[in-house]
């Protein structure tokens, strides 16, 4: 309902303005509407309301159109990261039992090899569908219809699907429009992959009547060329992208005169990097803190906010809550924390997920009485600004991509040579953090190459440990919990 409204309203208001852009084509609002109508008819002929449609593809404008077409007919989109290995994809496919796939040539090849009975629509072919001004009869008449299942890395060994509805997207969009305030025609570049939860930012710019520019894949040069050539005004980047962009040849001579705002999220931005980015690019930075399970952005630090020094060493300011996303800090016993106390960030509101797909236990653990526990640790200062102190569940953020130790440990434990294992974050200048595996071997020898091969077969590349460190015993407390802080210190010393 929400996404279809975006199409209908903006087709009337800005019929010839560009809604979507990639290196292959510009799509006007009229064409966007008609492309989606044509695709929605194709999908409606193949799936029933509530059926899942997986998307396995690199970035292109047709990917965005697929989100809208599925939403129009009540199909649930399940975007899949093309970097996932065959076992990781199999886990998702077996869980969501899709009736249809939409894929680029590479994705279609992979699906045909492993799932020959799954019908696949060619994403490249969508541009050749005959546009239709008539949307199929809308089978979605309420905002709580499932919209997408976004798979996150896992806290418990296997990835979990975050089920969100259109109400979540709408609530977060209205919050974004009130706070970030993009205008009709604002040129927004999404440099992130479209399977990522940050897709909601692109949907918000479309809600504003803006233009969403889609980068096929991030490289510093392609991003710089897009920023300059497409006269991008707002861009969403993760800190690693900002650092690589600043190292790009031609950054000093690039015409970035249209650029007005850099939104950054996913990992704390080091202060020196923020200063350099502001100086070299000449535009303000805005910190946003989002959680997939919360439906998008929860906290935001505006460029003109002046939070002062960190209340605790190493804390990162996340700003104040977005409208529509009530936030509170909660102690482990469930009581509300006092100001200046470090506690877990809880979020409420209509944008939080409907739950984890087919996982009521995990849902009940994460959401209680309407409050989502992000498990990130924070404190509040005298001005009401939230400061991130530690990440949830020992989360490792590698270049903006989440890696949960449990998932990597689960794979390494499959090896007959591993008696025990713990994966922790080590600092990295470029990527922010890198996963390091501490391994307690069964025998006297440790075949690292075999462990790497195991990871290559089972895990997407960004989850693979950058180092393997042999230990006689993985340190644990009396209750058996791994002493990760000690291992993090060891990883930092060992890598320096």
Partner 1 sequence: MTDARTLIRENLDYPALLDDIADHDDLIMAGVNSGEMVRIALACEQHLDREITDEELTQLKSVRAVAELLGQSGGT
Binding mask 25-64 for partner 1 (x = CB under 8 A): ----------------------------------------
For 360, residues 6+ apart whose C-beta sits below 8 A from its C-beta are none
**Total number of residues that touch partner 1 (CB under 8 A):** 32
- 425 contacts 463 by C-beta, under 8 angstroms: no
Cβ 276 to partner 1 shortest distance, Å: 17
Instruction: Pick the closer one to partner 1 by CB: 125 or 229.
Output: 229
Q: Which is nearer to partner 1, 146 or 441 (CB)?
A: 441
388-417 positions binding partner 1, by CB under 8 A: 398-399
Among 460, 469, 482, 487, binds partner 1 (CB under 8 A): 460
CB half-sphere exposure, 483, CA atoms < 13 A: 11
Tell me how far, at minimum, the Cβ of 434 lies from partner 1, in Å: 6
| CA dist., res. 20 & res. 24, Å (int) | 11
CA distance 384 to 321: 9
Pick from 15, 250, 314, 370: which binds partner 1 (CB under 8 A)?
Answer: 250
Tally helices (H) and strands (E) across the chain.
14, 26
Residue whose entry in the numeric block shows the structure tokens 């949907």: 203
Exposure string over 64-94, b if 16+ CB within 10 A, otherwise e = bbbbbbbbbbbbbbbbbbbebbeebbebbbe
DSSP for 292-346, please give it: GGGTEEEEEE-TT----S-SSTT-EEEEEEPTT--EEEE-TTSPBPPTT--EEEE
Q: How far is the CB of 197 from partner 1 (least distance, A)?
A: 17
Give the Cα separation of 396 and 424 in Å (integer): 7
**221 in contact with partner 1 (CB under 8 A):** yes
Token code pair at residue 151: 């798979």
Work out how close the CB of 449 gets to partner 1 at its nearest, in angstroms, rounded to a whole number: 6
Cβ proximity to partner 1, 23 vs 143, nearer residue = 23
Q: How near is the Cβ of 427 to partner 1 at its closest, in Å?
A: 13
Closer of 277 and 318 to partner 1 (Cβ): 277
- Residue from the set 466, 471, 484, 490 that interacts with partner 1 by CB under 8 A: 466
Give the range of 31-39, 123-131, 366-374, 428-436 binding partner 1 by CB under 8 A. Answer: 428-436
User: Mask of contacts with partner 1, 430-459, x by CB under 8 A?
Assistant: xx--x-------------xx--xx-xx---
Of 110, 14, 97, 13, the C-alpha closest to 58 is 110
Q: Which residues bind partner 1 (CB under 8 A)?
A: 23, 83, 217-222, 240, 244, 247-250, 398-399, 430-431, 434, 448-449, 452-453, 455-456, 460-462, 464-467
């Amino acid at each position: 309902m929400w996404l279809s409204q975006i199409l209908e309203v903006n087709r009337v208001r800005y019929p010839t303005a560009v809604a979507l852009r990639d290196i292959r084509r510009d799509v006007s609002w009229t064409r966007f509407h008609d492309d989606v109508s044509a695709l929605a008819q194709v999908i409606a002929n193949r799936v029933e309301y509530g059926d899942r449609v997986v998307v396995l593809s690199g970035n292109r404008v047709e990917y965005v159109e697929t989100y809208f077409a599925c939403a129009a007919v009540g199909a649930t989109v399940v975007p899949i990261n093309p970097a996932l290995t065959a076992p990781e994809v199999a886990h998702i496919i077996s869980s969501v039992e899709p009736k249809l796939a939409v894929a680029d040539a590479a994705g279609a090849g992979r699906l045909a090899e492993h799932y020959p009975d799954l019908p696949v629509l060619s994403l490249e072919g969508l541009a050749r569908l005959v546009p239709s001004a008539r949307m199929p009869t809308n089978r979605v008449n309420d905002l709580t219809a499932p919209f997408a299942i976004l798979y996150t890395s896992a806290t418990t060994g296997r990835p979990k699907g975050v089920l969100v509805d259109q109400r979540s997207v709408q609530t977060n969009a209205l919050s974004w429009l009130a706070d970030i305030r993009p205008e009709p025609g604002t040129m927004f570049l999404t440099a992130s992959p479209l399977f990522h939860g940050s897709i909601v930012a692109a949907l918000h710019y479309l809600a504003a009547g803006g233009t969403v520019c889609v980068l096929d894949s991030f490289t510093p040069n392609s991003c710089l060329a897009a920023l300059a050539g497409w006269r991008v005004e707002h861009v969403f980047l993760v800190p690693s992208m900002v650092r690589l962009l600043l190292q790009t040849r031609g950054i000093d001579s690039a015409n970035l005169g249209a650029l007005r705002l850099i939104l950054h999220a996913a990992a704390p931005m080091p202060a020196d990097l923020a200063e350099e980015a502001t100086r070299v690019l000449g535009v303000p930075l805005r910190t946003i803190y989002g959680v997939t399970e919360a439906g998008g952005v929860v906290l935001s630090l505006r460029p003109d906010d002046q939070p002062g020094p960190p209340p605790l060493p190493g804390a990162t300011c996340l700003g104040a809550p977005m409208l529509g996303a009530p936030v509170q800090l909660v102690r482990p016993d469930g009581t509300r924390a006092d100001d200046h106390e470090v506690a877990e960030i809880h979020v409420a509101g209509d944008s939080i997920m409907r739950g984890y797909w087919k996982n009521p236990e995990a849902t009940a653990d994460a959401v209680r009485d309407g409050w989502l526990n992000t498990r990130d640790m924070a404190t509040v200062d005298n001005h009401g600004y939230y400061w991130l102190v530690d990440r949830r569940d020992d989360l490792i953020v590698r270049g903006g991509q989440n890696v949960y130790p449990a998932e990597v440990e689960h794979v390494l434990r499959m090896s007959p040579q591993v008696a025990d294992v713990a994966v922790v974050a080590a600092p990295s200048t470029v990527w922010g953090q890198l996963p390091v595996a501490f391994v307690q071997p069964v025998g006297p020898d440790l075949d690292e190459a075999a462990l790497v091969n195991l990871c290559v077969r089972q895990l997407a590349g960004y989850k693979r440990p950058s180092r393997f460190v042999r230990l006689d015993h993985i340190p644990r407390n009396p209750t058996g919990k791994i002493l990760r802080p000690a291992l993090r210190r060891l990883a930092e010393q060992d890598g320096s």
